[in-house]
A and B are shown apart, each in its own frame.
Chain A
Amino acid sequence: MASAEAMPLSARLKSWPMWMFMAIVTACLLAVGAGREAGPLTQQERIDVITKRLACPTCDGESVFVSQASAAVNIKNEVARQVASGQRNDEQIVAHIEERFGGRVLLVPRATGFDSLVWVLPVSVLVCSVAGLAAAFRRWRREQGLVPSDDDRAMVARLLAEEPEDHDEVPR
């Protein structure tokens, strides 16, 4: 890997131009796939989408879509009627149900006030732990102290190339 004079075909194949090519292909495929429309929803699918956002008022945590409780069935019927009449959009139907039953039928906590903590806390925990990890790596690098010479690096690279690949299974 280190010596460049007789690079085998496989190594040349895996050089950076091929990676660039791969990146371009991936980007194109993602653009094509993510950019196109998924097609219209059936009425039932619209009902499913809306009822997945509503909580069954008598069963903590379950959505109206999932629940078989009578309150959930009633709400499902109401959503079906609203969808069939075609006068309201999804947001309005959700708001209409919320107006009747109050905030406890919303499955997604609001992103305002105290409720926003449920969104903010996970993000801050992620940021803190990534920052902690970064700090740990910085400290480790400092503790390492010695800067490896070029010879060291070459040796490491050579040994790494020789190392059997299923690293956990060390041959006896």
Chain B
Amino acid sequence: MLGAAGIGGPIGRAFLLVGLVGALFGFVSCVMGMRQKDEKLLRLSLRFATLSAVSAVGAFMAMEYAMITRDFSLDYIQKVGSRSTPALYNFTAVWSALEGSILMWLLALALMTAWIAWRYRAKVTDPLVATALATMFVTAFFFFLLTIGPADPFAPGESGVTDGPGPNPLLQNHILVLFHPPILYIGYVGFTIPFAFAIGALVTGRLGEGWLLETRRWALFSWGFLTFGIVLGGWWSYEVLGWSGVWAWDPVENASLLPWITGTAYIHSVLVQERRGMLRVWNLSLLAATFSLTILGTFLTRSGILNSVHAFSESDIGPYLLTFFAIVVVVSLVLIGWRGDRLRSPGIIDSPMSREGAFLANNVLFSVFAFVVLLGTVFPLIVEALQNRQIVVGEPFFDSLATPIGIVMLFLMCIAPVLPWRKASTELLSQRLFWPAWCGVAALAVAVLLGATGLEPLLTFALGGFATGAALRQLVLATRRQKWRGLVGRANGGMIVHIGVIMISVALAASNSYTRSQELTLAKGVPASFGGHTFELKGFVEESDARRTSIKVDVSIDGGKSYRPAIHKFTSMGQNVGTPSVKSSWSKDIYLTLEPPVKPTSNEAKIKVFIKPMMTWMWAGGILMAIGTVLSAFPGRRRRPTDPVSAPVPTALTGTSP
């Protein structure tokens, strides 16, 4: 055993070093190849990208090997490994702390770099592609550097350690730990690709329309993963954390939301560029902002200056990430300042009442939203730096600003899908919006009949109905003309994504406004009732293994099936972790948590009951968003990608603009 254990460290370290060198050489071969116009050198970059990717995979597997063989000679395994962790959670323990999560980031990044190098191997002689590839190599180099320097997952630990505490109990409580982090990371890391192409465009000072299509596709790919990762995170929070919520505006959550917001702005405004050739510099800026925000978010959450439930252990990774953030921002700004005017198009938008006008409004809203989230997240740091005073900015702040922004976004989703490009007349609008608007009135009427109160949720329901009507109208018209093809393509797939977003908004409005909760002390055999349901304590179930001791209570809801909220006490950490139990239906969830202290001998248990309307709609909306994203990635019936979407600007015209 001792012979096999201990080799994971050196092997992993070796892989990381090879990867670092591969990324460095890849960068050099791209840059030198471009300078010397040496095709051979440029083609070599594919080899180096492959080398980095193989090394990253190797390092990751070495880490898994060390984890699975419980190689306690490594510091990281001492921190998150334990002999009593079940196989699944032991496997996922690799990404349960700082070093491992950087390693997973690196894995995704190196694989994507190799994929891009391979995908564009025929076009690598194009300076735009070569610059993009060089950018990806730099990023990969930086992350390899992190894993060799401040976030070394293979650092040797103290000798003589034979067991560890295992991962954080919250990370060994639900199967989603296997899916949420990797999916989120693919989305997060994926935004490197569009950013790299943006840098390529800025450095070369030109935008091929092929660039546009590719970049949009990659942005959509990353956006889809990020979206799905965020939804899964919400579901995980709901299933595991026991406070019956999905989103707490925690700094780590905000860090994932920020690139999502700017990414969403981009995938909308890029359509204006595609159709009208406008907003080029703005779109490049959005991509740069998205990528910078992923790095900033990583800095904020990994450096220990902000803490959260997701808190990673403190390390000296902060200065590295901050420096990289500064480099990214400075390079982007200098390039935009230097090249921006050359890329700008002199087109005009005729009327605010047009598709492009709506996209502009959308972008303004999303930018303000991103600003709100960023400001709220870092404001405590600003106050502390300037006034040396502690304050907290939390959920009520974000809620009170995000709600009006969300309502205006819903309103845009009502009218934007029916707006034509260039200019709409009032008659046209009144024709096209008529039935969608009645859908909104119908939704409002149903909500009022069901007893809904409060202006904000009612507006959300009404606008939600309206926007669903507008989206369905587009889908119906498209499928009528193109049969099943009316469901694919970005406009139609986008409408399906919209319906998903609307379902999530409606579910959030309903569950935030109409959740009922009560604490019940149940005695065995005596049903208690709350919110029209009865709850009866049937008994206690006690289980224990090397990892934890669990107490579950059997609670029958309305005399039917039993639900088992539990409290687990993890032996190594001495930490209590509750696990809720949820009865779901399409109209409402009944969410039970067991409250400490639990004394099985007393035949009494205290439970907390939340009755939350429409939670199922939220998950359905998330799934619909994922389906819609996939559908919109398939090319619909549209012009060939090489057709210029906007004619090159005649030189005569350029002279007239000031």
Give yes or no for direct A-B contact (beta carbon below 8 Å). yes
Contact, CB under 8 Å: A25 / B393: no
A44-B517, A61-B251 known; A107 vs B445 contact (CB < 8 Å)? no
Q: Which of chain A's residues have a CB closer than 8 A to the CB of B368? A: 122, 125-126, 129
Contact, CB under 8 Å: B657 / A143: yes
Docked CA distance A51–B639 (Å): 56
Answer yes or no: B437 CB below 8 A from chain A CBs.
Answer: yes
Q: Which of chain B's residues have a CB closer than 8 A to the CB of A163? A: 420
Q: Which of chain B's residues have a CB closer than 8 A to the CB of A30? A: 444, 455, 458-459, 462
Partner of A52, one of B372, B376, B395: B395
Docked CA distance A38–B510 (Å): 13
Contact, CB under 8 Å: B481 / A164: yes
Q: Which of chain B's residues have a CB closer than 8 A to the CB of A45? A: 516-518
Stretch from B321-329, B359-367, B535-543, B556-564 at the A interface: B359-367
Docked CA distance A25–B438 (Å): 10
Chain B 413-433: CB-based contact to A (< 8 A → 1; otherwise 0): 000001011111101101110
Q: Which of chain A's residues have a CB closer than 8 A to the CB of B517? A: 42, 44-45, 48
Chain A 78-106: CB-based contact to B (< 8 A → 1; otherwise 0): 00000000000000000000000011111
Q: Which of chain A's residues have a CB closer than 8 A to the CB of B400? A: 108
Q: Which of chain A's residues have a CB closer than 8 A to the CB of B492? A: 166, 169
Partner of B437, one of A1, A22, A59, A102: A22
Docked CA distance A38–B490 (Å): 42
Q: Which of chain A's residues have a CB closer than 8 A to the CB of B656? A: 143
Contact, CB under 8 Å: B516 / A34: no
Docked CA distance A92–B461 (Å): 34
Contact, CB under 8 Å: B489 / A169: yes
Q: Which of chain A's residues have a CB closer than 8 A to the CB of B459? A: 30
Q: Which of chain A's residues have a CB closer than 8 A to the CB of B424? A: 160
Query: Which chain A residue shows the least CB distance to B389?
Result: A103
Answer yes or no: B434 CB below 8 A from chain A CBs.
Answer: yes
Contact, CB under 8 Å: A29 / B348: no
Stretch from B182-190, B225-233, B237-245 at the A interface: B237-245
Residues of chain A from 121 to 172 with CB closer than 8 A to chain B in the complex: 121-122, 125-126, 129-130, 133, 136-137, 140, 143-144, 156-157, 160-161, 163-172
Residues of chain B from 503 to 533 with CB closer than 8 A to chain A in the complex: 516-519, 530
Answer yes or no: B599 CB below 8 A from chain A CBs.
Answer: no
| Range for the number of chain B residues in contact with chain A | 35 or more
Q: Which of chain B's residues have a CB closer than 8 A to the CB of A156? A: 422-423
Q: Which of chain A's residues have a CB closer than 8 A to the CB of B245? A: 66
Contact, CB under 8 Å: B441 / A122: no
Tell me the count of chain A residues lying within 8 A, CB to CB, of chain B. 74
Contact, CB under 8 Å: A160 / B444: no
Contact, CB under 8 Å: B391 / A122: no
Contact, CB under 8 Å: B448 / A65: no
Q: Which of chain A's residues have a CB closer than 8 A to the CB of B452? A: 33
Answer yes or no: B600 CB below 8 A from chain A CBs.
Answer: no
Query: Which chain B residue shows the least CB distance to A69?
Result: B309
Docked CA distance A67–B379 (Å): 21
Answer yes or no: B655 CB below 8 A from chain A CBs.
Answer: no
Answer yes or no: B598 CB below 8 A from chain A CBs.
Answer: no
Q: A121: shortest Cβ distance to chain B, in Å? A: 6
Q: Which of chain A's residues have a CB closer than 8 A to the CB of B390? A: 102-104
B: residues with CB less than 8 A from A are 241-243, 245, 248-251, 271, 275, 306-309, 348-352, 355, 357, 360-361, 364, 367-368, 371-372, 375-376, 379-380, 383, 386-387, 389-397, 400-401, 418, 420-425, 427-428, 430-432, 434, 437-438, 440-441, 444-445, 447-448, 452-455, 458-459, 462, 474, 477-478, 481-482, 486, 489-492, 516-519, 530, 576-578, 608, 636-639, 656-657
Partner of A26, one of B383, B455, B462: B462
Docked CA distance A144–B306 (Å): 50
Q: Which of chain B's residues have a CB closer than 8 A to the CB of A66? A: 241, 243, 245, 248, 395
Partner of B393, one of A109, A125, A133: A109
Residues of chain A from 16 to 40 with CB closer than 8 A to chain B in the complex: 16, 18-19, 22, 25-26, 29-30, 32-34, 36-38
Contact, CB under 8 Å: A63 / B423: no
A62-B248, A166-B478 known; A14 vs B434 contact (CB < 8 Å)? yes
Partner of B448, one of A13, A18, A29: A29
Q: A116: shortest Cβ distance to chain B, in Å? A: 11
Contact, CB under 8 Å: B387 / A104: no
Contact, CB under 8 Å: B361 / A169: no
The 18 listed contacts between A and B (C-beta, < 8 Å) are: A1-B427, A19-B434, A30-B458, A60-B306, A61-B250, A61-B251, A61-B307, A107-B392, A107-B397, A108-B396, A114-B383, A137-B357, A160-B424, A160-B428, A165-B474, A166-B481, A169-B491, A169-B492
Contact, CB under 8 Å: B360 / A62: no
Answer yes or no: A75 CB below 8 A from chain B CBs.
Answer: no
Query: Which chain B residue shows the least CB distance to A21?
Result: B441
